[in-house]
Amino acid sequence: MIIVRKNVLSFNDTTYTCAIGKNGLTSRKKEGDGCTPLGKYSLGTIYFRKDKVVLPKMNLPKMVIDKNTGWCDDINSYEYNKAITFPFEHSAERFFRNDDIYDIICIIKYNSNPVIKGKGSAIFIHVARDDYSGTEGCIALCKEDLITILTQVSLQTKINIIN
């Protein structure tokens, strides 16, 4: 079990500094609120930039990020809170970025079964900025810590985000 409490992530008797949503934690997550959702969730696919990262063996499914990889955050789309491919007619986050924060992304299965429009989308574990500044709702770790953790998790691993 991964535990996230404020800016500390604990896993396998080790603690790591992490970033959370710039507006804190919430039990009432809404699209665009800048908050990280409280609760216990499963992990999903790992997306990564093959041109920037070499990943060791991992137990979660992996997908290579290319220039057309993204995630829909538009409540008006049937693809809301799902992976998409650009070109895309609705609002969506691009995974292929000039900064490094999306070099590795692990999907947190928040608001995924069923997807409820407006309850929040695109909640990931990804690479932190150097200053660990707040995210739009994701959890972020330094690249080395993220790789260390992702080599030890499986589809059975849960992440518990608590106050």
Give mean pLDDT in consecutive 10-residue pieces for the chain, a chain of 163 residues: 97 98 98 98 98 96 98 98 98 97 98 97 98 98 98 97 97
Can you give the pLDDT at residue 98?
A: 95
Can you give the pLDDT at residue 6?
A: 92
Pairwise CA distance, residues 2 & 100, whole Å: 23
Give the residue carrying structure tokens 């997550």: 29
For residue 160, give the amino acid letter. Answer: N
Can you give the pLDDT at residue 129?
A: 98
Cβ proximity of 70 and 83 under 8 Å: yes
Can you give the pLDDT at residue 135?
A: 98
Can you give the pLDDT at residue 79?
A: 98
Can you give the pLDDT at residue 120?
A: 98
Q: Structural domains in the chain? A: 2-162 (2.40.440.10)
Pairwise CA distance, residues 64 & 156, whole Å: 22
Pairwise CA distance, residues 9 & 2, whole Å: 7
In DSSP terms, 158 is beta-bridged to 42
